[in-house]
Amino acid sequence: MKDCIFCKIINKELPSDIIYEDEKVIAFKDINPQAPIHILICPKKHIETINDLKEEDKEIIGHLFLVAKKLAKDLNVDKRGYRIIVNCNKEGGQEIYHIHFHFLAGKPLGKLVC
Ligand code: AMP
Ligand code: ZN
């Protein structure tokens, strides 16, 4: 998608601090971290929001969770704990319309405040 920042990161047209990459998924550090570890995990397929998910995307969404699990182990926060957040649309706080997991860890994250 031409004007999508995350597609540009995926296509290496924009720099990023890549933590993990495979055929279908990329994970890179959030530019404005909200925790000591704040990684964004994105499918390489441009899907705008949760609302746009199709039956055929089941596998890729499952894959995002497995990448999150792997990162947690690799970064040694699997036992301590971590949080995954997915924002959807304006009131959900979404700013970049390319679906992504926020992977947050490295400190006690407390209760979700809304
Ligand atoms: P969301 O509000 O869920 O759409 O999250 C978008 C996230 O992308 C925010 O946490 C931003 O800090 C992050 N972000 C925006 N631009 C970049 C970038 N060029 N590289 C890494 N993270 C970014
Ligand atoms: Zn995109």
How far is CA 86 from each of CA 11, 76, 94, rounded to the nearest angstrom?
22, 22, 8
CATH assignment, 5-105: 3.30.428.10
| 19 neighbors 71 (Cβ within 8 angstroms) | yes
Domains in the chain: boundaries: 5-105
Q: Does residue 88 have its Cβ closer than 6 Å to ligand 1?
A: no
Token pair recorded at residue 98:
């390319």
What is the pTM for the complete model shown? 0.98
Is 2 a residue whose pLDDT tops 90? no
**pLDDT per residue over 45-97, tens digit each?**
999 999 999 999 999 999 999 999 999 999 999 999 999 999 999 999 999 99
Q: Does residue 30 have its Cβ closer than 6 Å to ligand 1?
A: yes
CA of 27 to the centre of ligand 2 (A): 14
